[in-house]
Structure 1
């Protein structure tokens, strides 16, 4: 029956044979195509299953001070990782591995058991190359290594708040490391390798992309001045039993930040027991009422109007002034009935400053404070930087005008206050601040007439050198200009001020004849000898300024006149003992 059907329908048989022939031909052609003509296809898929790209870590950029001294460097380290499935087969070697890694055996065993089904887990990161080689020499199955870089900070706690630090993945997390992360971070490269199905390295094929190192960053900080400021601020906190402190130093001519230190501080190379409070860059984060340190700005606003001259006098008797329910008081009770404008600064008279402010109005003072940077970002780009507050009113009442004139009702940071004094010292020209080294002097904006700024420089020199001046801020061999300030600390969470809690401040610049350095010292809650800025902060200013002027080779402007060897010397008693001679 079957043979009869085949004879009756021969076309079916031929059709089947033809189809089979086409199928064999198609398969044969595909084999030839893949192996001879289009062999890259199979090669690509084969490589995809065995070819891998291992990242080549990039060297993070070097951070130096203005003179090339290293502040942050990257050193090569070894990171050990493991394939949990492979390591599970070598359980008998776990105690040896734990001992080599310096880890507690029980906890290490539990960790490996939890990761027994994973193909990747970190064992330890950041070993020195020598330590990593010692562990790898044990040849424990499933233990592999990666090359990485770890950040090291030669200056340690001295520059911690400025430099910041990186995390375990070498990404910036604080300070300059975070603010300039894109500049410092390099671009990782790629290495092409062959691995077997278990992920073991068979062959290092080639470097497909070279790693690109990060760029070097030269800061404006002078490490010598940074060490000096750090030491003196730390000693001041110990001597005065203070809670915290900040010091900022600015180059008057360029706007560069030469030093910025805070206490308490921390060691970025060892952050195991790091306290969050120690990480605060208080010079840029903590805001406070600046108190009497802003009186020179208020007085400059008065001089700018042309309505006042330094010799003009104001009655300050009896040392208090009633404005509604608000009473303005002077600390000093022996300043006299009448003071000129310089005397108001020397005696830090709130009453005298308020009366001058009433005459020119609060808006004039507000505008000048705004022009020197209060209530604004400094432009340094630091993470967490605060701008403070500078109140503005449609109608300035007497109470608001008075409090603003002598430093209450507004808040600033130490860096803003230092910037304002640098502007006074730079003859009224405000320069942009810079945390990186400035090679070309920037253009500034004239926010205060030059003659007014120079007049204020002389008045602030008298604040230091007058008989009732802040003598503790004097610097041997130099004329110094500045103003002390003391402000009560606002309470946190409630209105008003905290009892017996003060900030002691001093702001100034030197040399007075040609200012080069502006500096602000803020000490938080001194608790021993006293709390006035002239008593607590002025000595720190004096010591740091004296050392800084010498280190920067700035010519003294207050040396005693040279002795003429030809001049007639006063007669003294001779060896024979002349009668009537006096020594």
Structure 2
């Protein structure tokens, strides 16, 4: 007799039925829950398969000069991309597409074939909207467009080293574009769209997040002065066959950089044939021994010590001074072999400066040079800026003391050099430098006694105006002050100096009655017509300073006295005799 298993074990059958009922109940409950209570879950998963967010590009902030003239602007461009899989359906149109993009058909076809499995590849970036639309009008399947922004620089090569540039993704890569990238960069927005399973746009739903443009940035430079400095520096390099050069101009009262130019330069709007050496902002990155341009600071240290006064006499005969194995030489011989302190600066006497330095000690010169910013960070925050080197010694021997006093054994940048001269021009008060426009005058720090700074101003005025001085730096209608320098170039990778390789330097300020502008010029390896700073760089100073003082409407302080009007009787007598 056959008996059913369920009859023998009825509890097992009931357990299976119960489990099946629970499973069915759980499924029913989940269906009800998803459709009634938690319907957002299904909606979210559905949207994930059809709703997409595409970025809305944000343009970078406008960069201007101190007067609002544009230096860097963002212009809309079209970027074309393609779905490699969809492109395979339109192979017959590839030659037409290649021609429209300006690409070689065979290489273009090979590239598309190699990317046949990719759903995204760039075809070309940075087209004008008109050019992009012409390609889209071909109706090639799988070709799409993205709106982006590209940076344009109205100043071109004139402002390249200051402004810098951005890369193809609109990120700062050089200059102020890099230094202020976070400030200038905008925040992209988001647009919600519906796409099908092939990625084709079905509907533009809404803007879920608006793009936020970058913030504007006003630099301290004056575009008029920038063009002036660029022209005169370029002309000097051509005239004297120089390898490179830099010029920096700053506002003495505020520390704002009014102009900064370098040669060679480059066009940031077209970088196809860009040479890396041309990108270097030499005014901030190149360091050099400043030579005789340091003598005014050594002289200031002497006056500050109280041991010397301007009328003191130094015997510099016979124009040489032996220190151990070294011999210090003067280029210009002093008549009678004796010079006062102003005469030492006018003749640029290394012997006279060394003897003064031996008396006051190297440490006092070092301290003053450090206080005016040499060997120190300028605080500009410019990418790649160097601080140079101002050596300090536990024991200042005569050789180190002498070389420091006339500008050897230390290294500075052109920016540091002009900043140091601005301290002298500002009556011994140091103000921080700035590459951005300042709305109010900053507080300064008195680092040189005012009386000492004013005495040095008068001495440097004589350096320009006295017979035998740097007369090429004169500015008609104004009293200006400055000092030339000629420094041998150190050998790279070895000790010593390169044969017949010099830097011609000049640094100064004006007008002397109330100094407003300081300028420093460095011209590297002039090869024609000489190499002395008073011959090569001083004329550039004179031309740039003359133009700058007039552009800034600074009143002349050296006009000839007006002629006395003739009296009526004198005029009548003159008429009677004729």
Give the structure 2 partner of residue 189 of structure 1: 189
SS at match of 1:89: helix
Cα distance in 1 for partners of 2:180, 2:452 equals 38
Deviation at 1:336, TM superposition (A): 3.2
2:504 alignment counterpart: 504
Which whole-Å CA distance do the structure 1 matches of 2:164 and 2:569 have between them? 60
Residue 303 of structure 1 aligns with which residue?
303
What whole-Å deviation, never above 9, does each CA across 1:487-536 have from its counterpart, x for those lacking one?
Answer: 11111111111111100010000001100000001100111111010100
Cα drift, residue 18 of structure 1: 3.1
Contact 2:334 2:347 in 1 (8 A): no
1:572 to partner: Cα distance: 13
The 5 A counterparts of 1:350-499 are 350-499=350-499
SS at match of 2:557: coil
Provide the rounded CA distance (Å) in 2 between the counterparts of 1:476 and 1:498: 38
- After superposition, the Cα gap between the structure-2 partners of 1:567 and 1:398, relative to the gap in structure 1 and judged at 3 Å, is farther
* TM-score normalised by length of structure 1: 0.97
Counterpart for residue 561 of structure 2 = 561
- In structure 2, C-alpha distance between the alignment counterparts of 1:444 and 1:105, rounded to whole Å: 65
Q: In 2, are the aligned partners of 1:335 and 1:347 still within 8 Å (CA)? A: no
CA shift digits 1:140-171 (9 cap, x unpaired): 11111111100000000000000000000000
Does 2:531 match 1:531?
yes
Residue in 2 aligned with 1:581? none
> 1:182 and 1:230 mapped to 2: Cα distance?
29
In structure 2, relative to structure 1, the CA distance for the partners of 1:372 and 1:40 (3 Å cut) is same
Give the TM-score of the pair, scaled to structure 2: 0.97
- In the superposition, relative to structure 1, how do residues 99 and 222 fare at CA in structure 2: closer, same or farther (>3 Å)? same
> Kindly tell me: are residues 49 and 573 of structure 1, through their superposed partners in 2, closer, same or farther at Cα, counting changes over 3 Å?
same
**Unaligned segments of structure 2, at least 5 residues:** none
Q: How much is the aligned-residue C-alpha RMSD, in angstroms?
A: 1.7
Compared with structure 1, are the counterparts of its residues 35 and 564 closer, same or farther at alpha carbon in structure 2 (3 Å cutoff)? same
Q: Do the aligned residues in 1 keep the contact of 2:491 with 2:497 (CA within 8 Å)?
A: yes
- The corresponding residue for 2:173 is 173
How far residue 10 of structure 1 moved from its aligned partner, in angstroms, is 4.0
Residues 332-352 of structure 1 deviation map (CA, whole Å, 9 limit, x = unaligned): 124431000000000000000
- The CA distance in 2 between the partners of 1:558 and 1:36, in whole Å, is 92
SS of structure 2 residue aligned to 1:404 = helix
Q: Which moved more, 1:202-211 or 1:242-251?
A: 202-211
* 2:262 counterpart of 1:271: no
Aligned position for 1:51: 51
Specify the SS of the correspondent of 1:336.
helix
Q: After TM superposition, give the deviation of residue 246 of structure 1 in Å.
A: 0.4
CA distance in 2, matches of 1:460, 1:485: 13
* Matches of 1:263 and 1:131, distance apart in 2: 35
d(CA) in 2 for partners of 1:48, 1:420:
63
Unmatched runs of 5 consecutive residues or more in structure 1: 579-583
Q: Does 1:127 align with 2:127?
A: yes
1:235-266 alpha-carbon deviations (Å, 9 max, x no partner):
00000000000000010010000000000000
Query: 1:129-278 maps to which residues of 2 (within 5 A)?
Result: 129-278=129-278
Structure 1 counterpart of 2:288: 288
Distance, in Å, in 1 between the alignment partners of 2:251 and 2:137 is: 54
Equivalent residues of 2:313, 2:341 under 8 A apart: yes
Number of aligned positions between the proteins: 578
Match of 2:93 in 1: 93
Deviates more, 1:404-413 or 1:206-215: 206-215
